[in-house]
Amino acid sequence: MSVFERSCYHKIDFKISEDASVKDAVNRFTAFNIGCLAVTDKNNKVVGVCSERDFISKIASYEKDLKETKVREICTYTPIIIAKKDDSLETCMNKMMFKDIRHLLVVDDKNEEFIGMISIKDLIKEIMKKNDDVVTRLSDFKMGKGAYFGSE
């Protein structure tokens, strides 16, 4: 999935321990400019997700203490909706729309290990890129540059 390699989550540590404070999660959201983290247990196994939406609905709206509240108290546990590394753009969009979520954990098909995350923003960027390519080809064809060879 090319969207996975271009994701804002690619090559960053997108995991946080369920024992970490919510303050730690908020600091990570801010530092990496992301909106979701994969939550791990004491064995470093992914068991859930913690999003900005979780923070707003379970901490900010109730004015709970960020430093005292643990990630496990606000995160979403199973069932976690996941994407396989080779899932198509459309498959990922359908999964997100079906469950009304904005992030998907990405799992490697071979060893079932979580290798990343993608956001709805990543998918929209891919769709826009595809649309730009189609517009360029059609414009080139109209200008007589040929539909099969692209812009030069």
Mean pLDDT per 10-residue interval, the chain, length 152 residues: 75 93 96 94 94 91 88 91 90 93 90 88 86 74 60 50
Are the beta carbons of 147 and 140 closer than 8 angstroms?
yes
Burial per residue of 75-96, b for 16 or more beta-carbon CB atoms within 10 angstroms, e otherwise: bbeeebeebbeebebeebbeeb
CA atoms within 13 A on the CB side of 95: 21
Domains of the chain with bracketed CATH: 2-120 (3.10.580.10)
pLDDT at 146: 60
Alpha-helical regions (H) of the chain: 2-5, 22-32, 52-58, 89-99, 120-142
pLDDT at 12: 87
